[in-house]
Amino acid sequence: MIDAVSKLLRCPSCGQGLRSEEDTASTPGERAKMPENLRCVSGEHTFPVLGSIPLLVAEPLSFHSSWESGLGRFVEQMTASEKQLLVELFEQNLGERGKQRVTQVVQGLARHREEVVRLMHRLGVTASLDRGVDEQQRPYSPETYLTLIHRDYGWPPEVDEVAVSWERLLRVLPQDFQLGPAVVLGAGTGRLAWQMASQLGDGAPVLALDINPLPFIVTALLQAGEPITLTELPAHPRRSSTATLSRQLKCPLPPTPELQLLFADGLHPPLTPLAFQTVVTPWFVDQVPQDAALIPELVHELLVEGGSFICTGPFVYDTGLTKPSLRYCADEFIELVQQAGFEITRASYESEPYAASPLSTQGRIEHVLYMHARKVASKAADRPSMPAYLRPGPGARLPVAVLPSIAGQRFHPQQVSEVAALIDGQRSVLDITSILVERGVLADDGAADAAVRACIQLLRRQPGQHD
């Protein structure tokens, strides 16, 4: 399948094409860990394929190391929790039901730890406690999105949030909708991409992008027909008798060869511009620490004329990462989509349950947007003027144009001057961001490149500046 989608892929480092090649690792152990590679056509960059899933990020070894470090911390934390509960079991004056509950959780923690370790090992990821690992934007934990795995593959039919969401999505699609070559950014488990490829697909590739390894390896193994058992440990169980439960994960969908999972950054997707008929962002917009206004621009760059932009999800921001002014409401985001050159064909915004485990005393009710929009040429004249190098995705790798009359000037705040000094006609937004993060001028908090774009926009507004 990788060869079939290679024309849709681009090197995340330089933007050139990719080709598949056999691994040239020197030892059998290395070859077993990373059995296949994708290589940039320039020959300068190589990306491993882990368990049939390419790792397409600019620094794949660093990401792989962060996963191993995160798995190490997870094992350490699970083991410590297990030991602490054993101590409490004997120290606390618990009734019979309480003793049974704590004993059940202790056993569940041990099972869960081993299950996760085995699954991660399928990607060549082993537990490490290397404290010197660069954790990228935020430390990785296998627990991230664990609830999504159970929601998508463990809870139905007792609780089937997937079916509710799917029906609402279908209602906003136009009658003439064609999936075509498609990509799902921030795909989670990839279950939605799998369902679209299986039930709406026409034989064209469907790519699912995410950077979280555990949900993807679960989906890859289910696609291959392998049985998977995963223990659920609700934080607030309804009953002492079901404080943990070993679930046999399953999916009613048939294996779908058109689906290709990719470990990749949804904000800087390693994809060919203007190559997709459909782009989907499920529960993605408000999870982005940068300005979510970049998302419609990014989608516009990927879609062919007349292509579909499908957005689903609530607008529940991480208040520690997203500035108050950038926490867009649903109607604001729809306006941003229209300004980016799209025509809204249909949208709904209603409440639905989310992450409400049948084992738990709590869940969430969220207002969720389901929107279908079409890229329309006539809207292009209404789009705000923005040079290609300031657009997210492929644009982030393009050289920033030199702005001659700013040379030697001082600007406020200091970061603007730092950015101005690095614009040389060769460095891209990502290059400038990397340098400033390394110098400590900007924090590596997931919003650094958005800050660089904002500085460049300020510089472009100086008298006499133009591209």
Residue spans per domain, the chain: 2-50, 163-382, 399-460
Degrees (nearest 5) of the Cα angle 447, 448, 453?
Answer: 100
Q: Where are the beta strands (DSSP E) in 118-267?
A: 182-185, 206-210, 228-232, 245-249, 259-263
Helix or strand or coil: residue 278? strand
Q: Tokens 């709904």 sit at which residue? A: 348
Q: Two tokens at 229?
A: 């058992």
Which CATH number is associated with domain 163-382?
Answer: 3.40.50.150
Chain CA centroid to CA 363, Å = 23
Residue recorded with tokens 């994960």: 249
Contact 430, 268 (CB under 8 A): yes
Type of residue at 273: P
Task: Tell me what pLDDT residue 379 has.
Answer: 65
Average of per-residue pLDDT across 291-313: 93
Residues 60-73 pLDDT 10s? 999 999 999 999 99
How far separated are the first and last CA of the chain, in Å rounded? 41
Buried b (16+ CB within 10 A) or exposed e, 373-400: bbbeeebeeeeeeeeebbbbbbbbbbeb
pTM: 0.84
Identify the three-state secondary structure at position 321: coil
Of 36-40, 389-393, 451-455, the least confident: 389-393
Share of the chain above pLDDT 90, in %: 61
Alpha-carbon Rg for the chain in angstroms: 23
Q: Which of 21-35, 144-158, 330-344, 376-390 has the lowest mean pLDDT?
A: 21-35
Q: What pLDDT is stored for residue 49 in this prediction?
A: 93
Q: What is the Cα 403 distance to its own chain's centre? A: 34
How far apart, in Å, are the Cα atoms of 181 and each of 268, 307, 399?
Answer: 18, 10, 29
Q: What is the structure's pLDDT at 23? A: 43
6 pLDDT exceeds 80? Answer: yes
Rounded Cα distance, 234 and 85, in Å: 16
